[in-house]
Structure 1
Amino acid sequence: MDIKEDVKKQFARSADSYVSSKIHRLGGDLNTLIEMAQTEKSDLALDAATGGGHTANALAPLVKRVTALDLTPEMLASAEKFITGNGHTNVEFVEGDAENMPFEDETFDIVTCRIAPHHFPNITEFIKEVSRVLKPGGRFLLNDNAAPEKDEFDHFYNKIEKLRDYSHFRAWKKSEWFQMLELENFEISEMHRFEKHFEFEDWCTRMHLTNDEIEKLTDIMVNANEDVKRKFRIEEQDNQIESFQGEAVLLSAVKR
């Protein structure tokens, strides 16, 4: 529960910045996710951990109804303002936990979750809940930051993300997602890998970091070994980090 309270606290103070964030608002990953969803006008969709509401907003014109679920009331309020401001009237906003969803079995044709599961402390419970609320043959669209397969790079990426954001739990490897989903009787039908460019200043500002916290992250990245710097495309000048690169995985999985 402490972890989930951390999530609520962190996102409550950052709600509006997530609605306006370029990484969340723009990018080919969202367009590709929507294409992969293969929506029909009769579909009932759930956007789990909706955050700023960008995925729910994109789904709204394409389906019968979207349910936007989030743990943090302030995030839901910001998402509702954003989505209704775009003229969508078929979106319902529900406060709730993605690992314990307040919905009946086999309710939805589509479940989406974008740039959120790295905050979930019980990821297998989340996947079980997605399976439970999906109709047979329903589609799960997952898009999240991913850790590289090499352990050294995995540890580095999760370390800096946790230092930046105490509500970060773990970014999973692509192979871990495949295993977890297939163990829950999902069949993965499509996968894409996206590179994610992070401007260091914006990456820190979104989490309201102190100068000491920024200095600690800078020190870790400046002093990383050359393999790590090459992998994450760390750009620095005068011992200051300008940018780096991560990656995201985008999966479409069908409930069997």
Structure 2
Amino acid sequence: MKPLDYKSFYDKVGKANGWDFSKLKLVSEGAKWDFNEEIMKRSKASDILLDIGTGGGENVLNLAPSLFLLVGIDISVGMMKTAQSNLLKSEVLNVRFSHMSSEHLLFPTDFFDLVSCRHAPFSSTEVDRVIKKGGYFLTQQVGEGDKLNVKKAFNRGNVVEEYGALKKRYVQELKEVGFSEVQSFEYNSTDYFQRPEDIIFLLKHTPTIPNFGQEKTDFEILDDFIKNNRTEKGIRTNSKRFLIVAKK
């Protein structure tokens, strides 16, 4: 997908559910970290955090009690409406949300102690500009090979030219803009979705299979996929993730 296609897609998702996957029934085996925990390991109660691609803001709101101020941005208008609604319901006072592109961060230089980005594009140059000396940037991204058996079943999805290419590019960019320490990690977990509706939710609310549900045969293919991948633990697939931790 091109960036503009992503924006259109995420706008629709924002209006539909705010990117809240908390109700999915899913068992994961082999995940090596929890992204929020990785953020908290490197934070202090006096810190200011910027979250890029914040979606409906659920993760930022969960982190709020442990930090001084949190700012979540997203390119999707729909996501921001959901985030503002979630903020109002939460009655949390130290969180702000703003509609903004990660390519042009409208914040002062050296303003944030921490910057996080989960499953969203970012500009290494802009992240480096807004983060303080000694601050941390953490990003978790979807790696090539994610949901591989699903993509093979539908014969569409992201084309993998080189496994690890995205992680390699991000690491190189962060080093080039001046981050002093850049570490990277990855895992490939086995996921078991407990119900067919969990798989349908995933496919309708992520770009794993482009335009899922619009092809006449999509649900026939999905039915076969479920039959072929059902186990005692659930409907099996995988999650490929990588984590980058960069210190300025």
What's the TM-score, normalizing by structure 2? 0.72
Given the alignment of the two structures, is residue 84 of structure 1 paired with residue 78 of structure 2, yes or no?
no
Whether contact under 8 Å (1:144, 1:250) holds in the other structure is yes
SS of 2:140's partner is strand
Q: How does 1:44-63 map to 2 (within 5 A)?
A: 44-63=48-67
**Following the alignment from structure 1 to structure 2, what is the Cα–Cα distance between the partners of residues 217 and 137?**
53
Partner in structure 1 of residue 129 of structure 2:
132
1:245–1:190 Cα change, 3 Å? closer
1:214–1:110 Cα change, 3 Å? farther
**Following the alignment from structure 2 to structure 1, what is the Cα–Cα distance between the partners of residues 25 and 97?**
19
**Following the alignment from structure 1 to structure 2, what is the Cα–Cα distance between the partners of residues 192 and 9?**
29
Flag the structure with higher helix content.
Answer: 1
**Following the alignment from structure 1 to structure 2, what is the Cα–Cα distance between the partners of residues 25 and 57?**
21
**Following the alignment from structure 1 to structure 2, what is the Cα–Cα distance between the partners of residues 90 and 194?**
35
Whether contact under 8 Å (1:18, 1:24) holds in the other structure is no
Amino acid at match of 2:84: E
Whether contact under 8 Å (1:67, 1:91) holds in the other structure is yes
1:243–1:160 Cα change, 3 Å? farther
Partner in structure 1 of residue 189 of structure 2:
195
**Following the alignment from structure 1 to structure 2, what is the Cα–Cα distance between the partners of residues 146 and 5?**
21
Partner in structure 2 of residue 212 of structure 1:
215
SS of 2:215's partner is helix
Amino acid at match of 1:58: N
Given the alignment of the two structures, is residue 251 of structure 1 paired with residue 239 of structure 2, yes or no?
no
Given the alignment of the two structures, is residue 144 of structure 1 paired with residue 138 of structure 2, yes or no?
no
How much does 1:107 deviate? Answer: 1.1
User: Which one of the candidate residues 107, 110, 113 is aligned to 1:106?
Assistant: 110
In the TM superposition, what whole-angstrom CA distance separates every residue of 1:70-101 from its partner, at most 9, and x where no partner exists?
11121011112223322311111111100111
Number of residue-to-residue matches in the alignment: 220
Partner in structure 2 of residue 237 of structure 1:
227
In the TM superposition, what whole-angstrom CA distance separates every residue of 1:156-187 from its partner, at most 9, and x where no partner exists?
7xx84449xxxxxx995433332222222221
**Following the alignment from structure 1 to structure 2, what is the Cα–Cα distance between the partners of residues 54 and 25?**
17
1:3–1:70 Cα change, 3 Å? same
Q: How does 1:104-183 map to 2 (within 5 A)?
A: 104-117=108-121, 126-147=123-144, 160-162=156-158, 172-183=165-176
Whether contact under 8 Å (1:108, 1:133) holds in the other structure is yes
**Following the alignment from structure 1 to structure 2, what is the Cα–Cα distance between the partners of residues 114 and 24?**
18
**Following the alignment from structure 2 to structure 1, what is the Cα–Cα distance between the partners of residues 239 and 167?**
13
SS of 2:168's partner is helix
Whether contact under 8 Å (1:55, 1:114) holds in the other structure is no
Q: 128-137 or 201-210: which moved more?
A: 201-210
SS of 2:128's partner is helix
1:212–1:190 Cα change, 3 Å? closer
**Following the alignment from structure 2 to structure 1, what is the Cα–Cα distance between the partners of residues 243 and 139?**
6
Given the alignment of the two structures, is residue 32 of structure 1 paired with residue 37 of structure 2, yes or no?
yes
Give the RMSD, CA atoms, in angstroms: 3.8
What's the TM-score, normalizing by structure 1? 0.70
Amino acid at match of 2:80: L
Q: Any unmatched runs of 5+ in structure 1?
A: 118-122, 164-169, 223-234
How much does 1:56 deviate? Answer: 1.5
**Following the alignment from structure 1 to structure 2, what is the Cα–Cα distance between the partners of residues 214 and 42?**
53
